[in-house]
Amino acid sequence: MEETRLQGAAEVSEFTRSPLNTDVENTDVNILKLKKNAFRYSKKRGETASRVRIPGGVIDAASMAKIVGIAEKYGTGTIDITNRQGIEIPGIKMEDMDKVNAEVQAVIDALHINQEEEGKGFPASGTRNIEACPGARLCPFGCYDTTAFARRIEKEIFPSDRHVKIAFTGCSNDCAKVRFADFGIIGMTEPQYDPDRCVGCEQCIKYCKARSVGALSLQNGKVVRDANRCIGCGVCVHYCPTRAWTRSREHYFRVVLLGRTGKKNPRLAEDFIRWADEESVSRMINNVYAYIDEYIDPNAVEHKEHIGYIVDRTGFDEFLKWVMKDVHLPEKAEVATRLYWGGKHYDRTNNLQ
């Protein structure tokens, strides 16, 4: 027993003596090293939780079964589903971290997640799990395959320790709540109208008014779409009984920027671009990482300075210059050259009367 205990202590020695420990119960744990390997420190001394990335929120049943096995073998037999569609396996002993990393390798391989060294687990945890609603794979309102796009971006930006949140949603219903993210990608379609198939039933007009923005009207027996008002949600396509309305072959996106929660002036993301294409969205996301590398506060703990605070410091014009580098938008794209976030500002007074 004593030999086992000492061996366990030796195995976790690389995680000791961190200058940034503030939890009394974990004063001998190098929290930064722990978290970089995608383990969460615990309130219980000697325990941790393994954090498993699931980009796009979709995982095969065999990989989920593997995670269940790890939870039963090394954890408490429970699994936490995070708000960002990842998984945490709590109750793992510190001395079992290497074993967990070895067994989670099968999940990393199945999800095609970038890795610097096989068998060593996840090489970073700063960029949060990229989340996505079911999108066009399952939802009749989805304008594109959200999971496929989320996985593409995962391959391009992970591993990275920058604190960035990226979310994809299939349409303007925003089931993924992307306006809480640093980068929110909302699916759009340019509705295609075939007047020869239209019977003038006004079903599309009715539902566009009730469930969207009222961009359709009936003129001379045919439906007219106000392109300036249309948000590309596809409601008209969904409710048309004769398929007079169809989705465009091209996929378009609304990009919203710099939403955040937390203690310090939380705010919703604001509209940045409408009718962007996939390549432009990908380039902008990659550009943001270069911008952060250039301007992040060197004293930021764990590389966790939110992009919004960096933008506040450098000014939006400088951010715009970086994010739009080598971006070639479609001709129909609309770009906001200035963004204003409302946020929450508190009065600094004790007088509540």
Smallest Cα–Cα separation from 112: which of 145, 50, 155, 165?
155
Domain membership of residue 210 (yes or no) is yes
Supply φ then ψ for residue 237, to 5 degrees: -65, -45
Q: Tell me, rounded to whole angstroms, the distance of Cα 207 from its chain centroid.
A: 30
For residue 83, the one-letter residue type is N
Say if CB 147 and CB 135 are below 8 A apart: yes
Average pLDDT taken over every residue of the chain: 88
Residue 3 CB partners (closer than 8 Å, separation 6+)? none
The CATH number that applies at residue 57 is 3.90.480.20
For residue 295, the one-letter residue type is Y
Q: Are residues 43 and 89 in the same domain?
A: yes
* Domains held by the chain: number: 3
Domain membership of residue 160 (yes or no) is yes
Supply φ then ψ for residue 157, to 5 degrees: -115, -15
Q: Are residues 201 and 240 in the same domain?
A: yes
Q: Are residues 54 and 80 in the same domain?
A: yes
Eight-state DSSP code of residue 247: -
Sign (positive or negative) of CA dihedral 171, 175, 176, 179: positive
Report residue 331 as tokens.
């001709």
How many other CB atoms sit within 10 Å of the CB of residue 243?
Answer: 10
Q: Are residues 53 and 197 in the same domain?
A: no
Domain membership of residue 343 (yes or no) is no
User: What is the tens place of the pLDDT at every residue in 208-234?
Assistant: 999 999 999 999 888 999 999 999 999
Residue 350 pLDDT grade (very low, low, confident, very high; cuts 50, 70, 90): low
Domain membership of residue 121 (yes or no) is no
What is the chain's alpha carbon radius of gyration, rounded to the nearest angstrom?
A: 24
More confident residue, 29 or 185: 185
User: What is the tens place of the pLDDT at every residue in 327-337?
Assistant: 999 999 999 98
Domain membership of residue 125 (yes or no) is no
Domain membership of residue 97 (yes or no) is yes
Residue 164 CB partners (closer than 8 Å, separation 6+)? 126, 127, 128, 157, 182, 183, 288, 289, 292, 307
Question: What is the Cα–Cα distance from 157 to 229, expressed in whole angstroms?
Answer: 34
Q: Are residues 241 and 258 in the same domain?
A: no
DSSP letter for each residue of 34-103:
HHHTTEEE-SSTTEEEEEE--GGG---HHHHHHHHHHHHHHS-S--EEPTTS-EEEEEEEGGGHHHHHHH
- Intra-chain end-to-end CA distance of the chain, in Å: 64
More confident residue, 74 or 14: 74
Q: Are residues 158 and 280 in the same domain?
A: yes
Residue 301 pLDDT grade (very low, low, confident, very high; cuts 50, 70, 90): low
The CATH number that applies at residue 301 is 3.30.413.10
Q: What angle do CA 58, 60, 63 make, to 5 degrees?
A: 115
For residue 131, the one-letter residue type is E
CA dist 315 → 50, 199, 318, 344 (Å)? 38, 52, 6, 19
The residue segments making up the domain with residue 44 are 2-110
pLDDT for 326 equals: 96
Q: Tell me, rounded to whole angstroms, the distance of Cα 308 from its chain centroid.
A: 16
Phi-psi group of 175: left, alpha or beta (phi > 0 → left; psi -120 to 50 → alpha; rest → beta)? alpha
Q: Are residues 177 and 267 in the same domain?
A: yes
Beta bridge partners of 92: 48
Domain membership of residue 213 (yes or no) is yes
User: What is the tens place of the pLDDT at every residue in 35-77?
Assistant: 889 998 888 888 999 999 999 999 999 999 999 999 999 999 9
* Last residue of one domain, picked from the residues 231, 246, 261: 246
pLDDT for 266 equals: 86
Domain membership of residue 124 (yes or no) is no
Q: Are residues 165 and 198 in the same domain?
A: no
Q: Are residues 282 and 181 in the same domain?
A: yes
Q: Are residues 221 and 300 in the same domain?
A: no
Using DSSP's 3-state secondary structure scheme, residue 11 falls into helix
Q: Tell me, rounded to whole angstroms, the distance of Cα 292 from its chain centroid.
A: 17
Q: Are residues 173 and 28 in the same domain?
A: no
Residue 351 pLDDT more than 80?
A: no
The CATH number that applies at residue 211 is 3.30.70.20
Residue 343 pLDDT more than 90?
A: no
Q: Are residues 142 and 15 in the same domain?
A: no
Question: What is the Cα–Cα distance from 8 to 47, expressed in whole angstroms?
Answer: 12
Mean per-residue pLDDT for 190-203?
94
Mean per-residue pLDDT for 8-30?
47
